[in-house]
Amino acid sequence: MYHDFNYEATLASSLRAQWQLDDVLREDQDLDFSRNFLPESLARTAQLTGLNAFEQKTLNQIAAHEYLVMFAVVEEFILPFLLDHARPHLLDDDWRVRALLNFASEEAKHIHLFKRFHAAFVRGFPVECQMIGPSEAIGAEILRHDPLAVGLVILMIEWMTQQHYLGSIKDNGDIDPLFKSLMRNHWIEESQHAKLDTLIVDALAEGRSEAEIDKAVDEVFEIATFLDGGLKSQAEFNVEALERAINQTVLNREEIIAQQHQAARWTYIGSGLVHERFKATVENISPKAAARFAEAAPIFA
Ligand SMILES: [Fe+2]
Ligand SMILES: [Fe+2]
């Protein structure tokens, strides 16, 4: 086997690592808007030399708001996906049932946490930051696909959160400590989700022919194209929010939107697509599928 994940051990790790909402972000807690929130490797706002330092930081904060609201959107469709996956086998394996329901419960807690962050952001940020949505419509569009395709997209997302925290947040001295701790706590629980999702994808792929897997990969690309369209609209919304915040139009507007769209492609798709663990799962299912993802990866770099 290409991994040693199992439901019993993963549930035990999850239960040991669990935290309470108030330990991470109290309802009345305020964010420190004098700092960047997102690491530069994800936000890429410091590279925008046409903007001054204040404008770069403001756009960084808008991108951070996008990040956590986007994760709430994603977790809203992970929740029904998990319940649907668990439901047909509620009496088979106790460890599996408990691990999947605990996974769902943690995602529900994360959605709650991200809503709290959103409220704190709205309290402290001078203008409204428009988001794509509604989240129900995004979720419905994704969930209408083959569960294997949805499972692969979720697996990619779970591993990307690992890459984001370990690769660019953990040792970052630049960003707001509260935002950093929020990301750390999310990462702790997500590290078990990524293992459970690996088991889910393995189960969904079992017994499928090469043609069926190929078709599921087509659907992963459909979902990625749909998400990418959303990311482009979101980049436009973010620049509009920046303009409202600084009360003027930015120069090189289209260039900034394109650059921020590319940053989001890496953040939400590319960084998961190239994760070694994600690649290992896909390679195990189908080397052809792995080659198709590897070929597409540079678009999302
Ligand atoms: Fe989560
Ligand atoms: Fe998760």
Ligand 1 centroid to residue 42 C-alpha, Å = 18
Q: What is the pLDDT of residue 104?
A: 97
Q: What is the DSSP string of 97-120?
A: HHHHHHHHHHHHHHHHHHHHHHHH
Dihedral angle over CA of 136, 199, 203, 297, nearest 10? 70
Q: What is the pLDDT of residue 143?
A: 98
Nearest Cα to Cα of residue 82 among 94, 99, 62? 99
CA atoms within a 13 Å half-sphere pointing along the CA-CB vector of 293? 31
Ligand 2 centroid to residue 79 C-alpha, Å = 9
Cut 0.95: pTM above it: yes
Ligand 2 centroid to residue 5 C-alpha, Å = 16
Nearest Cα to Cα of residue 257 among 14, 44, 15? 44
**Which residues sit with Cβ closer than 5 angstroms to ligand 2, an ion?**
190, 193
Ligand 2 centroid to residue 240 C-alpha, Å = 30
Q: What is the pLDDT along the chain (301 residues), one digit of tens a residue?
A: 899 999 999 999 999 999 999 999 999 999 999 999 999 999 999 999 999 999 999 999 999 999 999 999 999 999 999 999 999 999 999 999 999 999 999 999 999 999 999 999 999 999 999 999 999 999 999 999 999 999 999 999 999 999 999 999 999 999 999 999 999 999 999 999 999 999 999 999 999 999 999 999 999 999 999 999 999 999 999 999 999 999 999 999 999 999 999 999 999 999 999 999 999 999 999 999 999 999 999 999 9
Q: What is the pLDDT of residue 25?
A: 96
Ligand with minimal distance to 113 CA: 1
Nearest Cα to Cα of residue 84 among 146, 156, 3, 18? 146
Ligand 2 centroid to residue 90 C-alpha, Å = 21
Residue pLDDT, tens place only, 160-215 = 999 999 999 999 999 999 999 999 999 999 999 999 999 999 999 999 999 999 99
Q: What is the pLDDT of residue 221?
A: 98
Ligand 2 centroid to residue 190 C-alpha, Å = 5
Ligand 1 centroid to residue 215 C-alpha, Å = 28
SS3 175: strand
Ligand with minimal distance to 194 CA: 2
Ligand 1 centroid to residue 203 C-alpha, Å = 21
First to last CA, the chain: 30
Q: How far apart are CA 45 and CA 38, in angstroms?
A: 10
Ligand with minimal distance to 196 CA: 2
Ligand 1 centroid to residue 156 C-alpha, Å = 13
